[in-house]
Amino acid sequence: MRPFLSVEKMSVGYGTTTILDKLDLGIRKGEFVALLGSSGCGKTTLLRTIAGFTKPFFGSIRVADRDVTQMPPDKRGMALVFQSYALWPHMTVAQNIGYGLKLQRQSRENIDARVNEMQNLLGLAGLGDRKPGQLSGGQRQRVALGRALAIDPEILLLDEPLSNLDARIRLTVRHEIRSLQKRLGITAIHVTHDREEAMVMADRIIIMNTGRIEQEGSPEDVYNKPASPFVAAFMGAENLLSMQARVQGEQVELMEGSFNPSIVTALAGRTLATGPIELRFRAEAARLARSEDKTVLQPGTLELRGQVTSVSYPGGHWRHAIRLGENEILVDADTPFNQGEAVRVCIPAKSLFIFNVVEGLAEARAL
Amino acid sequence: MQTRFLALLLVLPALIMIVLFFIVPLFASILGAFEVGDSFGLGNFSKSFDLYSKDMIFTVVIVSISTVLIGLLSIAIGGYLTLGENPRSVAILRWLYRWPMFIPFIVVGQVLRTFLAKNGLMNNILVSLGILTPLQTTGFLDWRGIVIAFVWKQTPFVTLLVAGAMASLDRSTIEAARNLGASRLRILIEIVVPQISGTLLVGLILSFVTMMSVLSVPLMINAQSPTMLTADIAFRINAHGDYGVANALGVISLLLTAGVALIYLRQTMKDRL
């Protein structure tokens, strides 16, 4: 099936700098897609190009088999919610929401009815006569959403719409937007740099890095099966170790190092070659044990021996910094271990993200 | 106590300057407006209204028309600088529009006098292009000439303020309107101008006051009756040595500009509420 919105071989940039190069993307009807990446990765540029505010150098954008590449923003059936909300300060809430309908020359009654509907839908009832300056951040955000939804767009584009909200309000607005999107069945593209926000809101996450799509997939996929070291790190696997690996058939052996005995585990879909590897895992995926604890480990569990250098309590669990020679890793545990204590760090095979080290990159990293 | 004295001492030079060179002369001329012979009265004012009521209306009408035209032109230029999509023509306009600001009023008057006269440069060009015959030509050296001179000289100043305010608007408020299908003209009128109206008003009021005080342009372009109050004031002093009526006319000009300032104050108070 052809996707509802498709971006084909699109290159975008400003002046002589290219930001996105030959990018392909397909989004199904009714899907909620998050474009996730750190600042400067090109996610906002991608959104603005889809919206029609930036013209691509090459490539095409199609909506339901209509080529919209050269169309002005308002003819694409899309509405954009801006990061700054971009509400018009001289207009009331009702005027802001109804402006798109006024531009479509709809009758006064139609506009009033639709504005009322939007205000009720978004919990803005009774605020129609206020100016944006008299609203809270969350209310402004909802007015911006109402203004975009009032014209009944096929595609809703959200440019970091939650980044200007208080942390607590953000958590509720996330769910509000998501349930609204589901209820209206609208196709949505959401740009964010917040991993958790993308995880809870989106059907599919597209992780971008330096103008390329690093990985796309369901939240579970990108979380549990990161396709590259960048994705693994971005999805929270910040602990990094360098090792040697030997691949034999469907098995991979992580060679013995100064802090660990060797283990053998199944490749389990990983594409690896014999040679230097980098290994990543999350602080919460590892288990901490006293060094005299002789519990027999499940086969394939990586065991590291190190020393606790510091302990902190971020809430819910204790976070330990463990020194392994030159390296330091972070490991969570339910009970605190003493500073200076020798410990075993056990990481189950399925929580290990293993990648071959690309030549040259390793040296660059060592510097 | 000591610090208060020191503070007063620091302010004193500026205060003396203002009192000596501004407040005292102002009050002297206001008082002078009410001096008739050896006593005080409204004689100078009744004489002013008898002789120059036409000129007062002429002045207000000319300056008002100019202000409106300046407003429209500065919105148009500022709007094009903000919303224009051809970067080259925007750059050219940006470079071009400021020039008249650096030309003194007297030079503007002189330039336009030779340009707008009945047998001036403009009509010569029109005649040589065959658009007009020499008999059809008319000079613009009357109220129209003054309006043209004022608009030409003051538009860049107001545009400078307006374009600056437009440039510092949140661009996404413009893009949000484009996203919903607003044309550039509608964006200018419904989105951009309402957001910079305060700046526009300040620019226009400063322009209004400036134009009220220009002597050279009416003298150069419109040396006939009716003319502007500034020319009358100069005439009363230079030809008759009549400081009383000149002062009365000055007070009337002051009241006219004060009226405009009041509108401005009202507006800003309303915006704050």
Per-residue pLDDT of chain A (367 residues; tens, 9 = 90+): 678 999 999 999 888 888 898 899 999 999 999 999 988 889 999 999 999 999 999 999 999 988 999 999 999 999 999 999 999 999 999 999 999 999 999 999 999 999 999 999 888 999 999 999 999 988 999 999 999 999 999 999 999 988 888 888 888 889 989 999 999 999 999 999 999 999 999 999 999 998 899 999 999 999 999 999 999 999 989 999 888 888 888 888 888 888 888 888 888 778 888 889 899 999 999 988 888 777 777 777 888 889 999 999 998 899 999 998 888 999 999 989 989 889 999 998 888 899 988 765 544 444 4
Give the pLDDT score at A361: 53
In degrees, to the nearest 5, what angle opens at C-alpha B25 toward C-alphas B21 and B28?
A: 160
| Stated pTM of the model | 0.82
DSSP summary character for residue A94: H
Per the CB < 8 Å rule, is B180 touching A147? yes
The average pLDDT across B17-24 equals 93
Residue A168 belongs to domain with CATH number: 3.40.50.300
Q: Does A241 touch chain B (CB under 8 A)?
A: no
Residue A287 makes CB contacts below 8 A (sequence gap 6+) with A333, A345, A346, A347
CA distance A308 to A336: 10
CA-closest candidate to residue A197, choices A165, A243, A154? A165
**Which chain A residues are closer than 8 Å to B182 by Cβ?**
74, 99, 103
Q: Are residues A139 and A218 in the same domain?
A: yes
Give the pLDDT score at A296: 72
Q: Are residues A206 and A304 in the same domain?
A: no
Q: Are residues A107 and A206 in the same domain?
A: yes
The last residue of one of the domains, among A229, A259, A293, is A229
Residue B28 inside a domain? The answer is no
CA distance B254 to B56: 12
**Which chain A residues are closer than 8 Å to B181 by Cβ?**
74-75, 100, 103-104
Scan residues 259-278 of A and list those with Cβ closer than 8 Å to B: none
Give the pLDDT score at A367: 40
Residue B61 makes CB contacts below 8 A (sequence gap 6+) with B143
Residue B126 makes CB contacts below 8 A (sequence gap 6+) with B132, B137
CA-closest candidate to residue A60, choices A13, A17, A23, A14? A23
Distances (CA, A) of A220 to A30, A175, A228, A229: 19, 18, 15, 17
The last residue of one of the domains, among A177, A198, A229, is A229
Give the pLDDT score at B271: 65
Q: Are residues A172 and A252 in the same domain?
A: no
Residue B205 inside a domain? The answer is yes
Q: Are residues A135 and A265 in the same domain?
A: no
Q: Does A90 touch chain B (CB under 8 A)?
A: yes
DSSP states along A239-270? EEEEEEEEEETTEEEEPP-SS---EEEE-TT-
Q: Are residues A49 and A176 in the same domain?
A: yes
**Which chain A residues are closer than 8 Å to B191 by Cβ?**
88
Is the peptide bond between B226 and the residue preceding it cis, with omega within 30 degrees of 0? yes
Q: Which of B173, B179, B181 lies at the smallest CB-CB distance from A51? A: B179
Q: Among residues of chain B, what percentage have pLDDT more than 90?
A: 72
Tell how strand A302-312 and strand A263-266 pair up: unpaired
The number of angstroms, rounded, from the C-alpha of B7 to the middle of its chain's C-alpha atoms is 38
Residue B27 inside a domain? The answer is no
Assess contact for A207 and A231: CB atoms under 8 A: yes
Give the pLDDT score at A80: 94
Assess contact for A50 and A20: CB atoms under 8 A: no
Assess contact for B80 and B72: CB atoms under 8 A: no
The number of angstroms, rounded, from the C-alpha of A145 to the middle of its chain's C-alpha atoms is 21
Q: What are phi and psi of A302, to 5 degrees?
A: -80, 130
Residue B17 inside a domain? The answer is no
Q: Which of A84, A86, A103 lies at the smallest CB-CB distance from B181? A: A103
Residue B38 inside a domain? The answer is no
Q: Are residues A53 and A85 in the same domain?
A: yes
CA distance A73 to A234: 32
Residue B30 inside a domain? The answer is no
Per the CB < 8 Å rule, is A100 touching B181? yes
Sheet holding A275-281, edge to edge: A263-266, A251-254, A239-248, A275-281, A353-356
- Is pLDDT of B37 > 90? no
Residue B191 belongs to domain with CATH number: 1.10.3720.10
Give the pLDDT score at A134: 93
Residue B81 inside a domain? The answer is yes
Q: Are residues A72 and A129 in the same domain?
A: yes
The last residue of one of the domains, among A229, A264, A297, is A229
Q: Shortest Cα distance from A8 to chain B (angstroms)? A: 22
Residues in chain B, overall count:
273
- Is pLDDT of B204 > 50? yes
Per the CB < 8 Å rule, is B195 touching A89? yes
CA distance A47 to A354: 32
DSSP H helical ranges for chain B: 2-18, 24-34, 43-83, 87-96, 105-116, 121-128, 143-167, 171-179, 184-186, 193-212, 216-221, 229-240, 243-272
| Site of tokens 């095409």 | A60
Q: Are residues A241 and A211 in the same domain?
A: no
Q: Does A57 touch chain B (CB under 8 A)?
A: no
- Terminal Cα-to-Cα distance of chain B (whole angstroms): 39
Structure token pair of residue A337: 């271990």
Neighbours of B270 (CB within 10 A): 8
CA distance A78 to B158: 37
Residue of A90, A159, A163 to mutate, interface with B, max B Cβ within 10 Å = A90
Give the 3-state secondary structure of residue B217: helix
CA distance A205 to A189: 10
CA distance A286 to A183: 39
Structure token pair of residue A31: 């899907």
CB crowding B104-130: b at 16 or more within 10 Å, else e: ebeebbbebbebbbeebebbeeebeee
Domain total for chain A?
2
Chains A, B: CB contacts within 8 A come to 55
Kindly state the helix (H) or strand (E) to which residue A19 belongs, with its residue range.
strand A17-27
**Which chain A residues are closer than 8 Å to B178 by Cβ?**
53, 72-74
- Is pLDDT of B273 > 70? no
Give the pLDDT score at A248: 85
Q: Which domain holds residue A296?
A: 237-366
Q: Does A51 touch chain B (CB under 8 A)?
A: yes
For residue A81, the cross-strand partners are A158
Closest residue, chain A, to B170 (C-alpha): A86
| Site of tokens 């407040």 | B23
CA-closest candidate to residue B83, choices B9, B191, B8, B156? B191
Distances (CA, A) of A330 to A251, B82, B197, B208: 28, 52, 56, 70
Q: Are residues A182 and A214 in the same domain?
A: yes
The pairs formed by B175-179 with CB atoms below 8 angstroms and a separation of 24 or more are: B175/A53, B175/A73, B175/A80, B175/A82, B175/A86, B176/A80, B176/A82, B176/A86, B176/A87, B176/A88, B176/A147, B177/A88, B177/A99, B178/A53, B178/A72, B178/A73, B178/A74, B179/A51, B179/A53, B179/A73, B179/A74, B179/A78, B179/A79, B179/A80
Q: Which domain holds residue B181?
A: 43-272
Domain total for chain B?
1
Residue B11 inside a domain? The answer is no
- Terminal Cα-to-Cα distance of chain A (whole angstroms): 47
Q: Which of B175, B191, B195 lies at the smallest CB-CB distance from A53? A: B175
Q: Are residues A183 and A313 in the same domain?
A: no
Q: Shortest Cα distance from B154 to chain A (angstroms)? A: 28
Residue A293 belongs to domain with CATH number: 2.40.50.140
Q: Are residues A35 and A101 in the same domain?
A: yes
Residue of B180, B185, B191, B199 to mutate, interface with A, max A Cβ within 10 Å = B180
- Is pLDDT of B210 > 70? yes
CA distance A321 to B137: 92
CA distance B61 to B55: 10
DSSP H helical ranges for chain A: 43-51, 93-103, 108-121, 137-150, 167-184, 195-201, 219-224, 229-234, 361-366
CA distance B220 to B25: 28
Structure token pair of residue A175: 């769910």
Structure token pair of residue A335: 């009970």
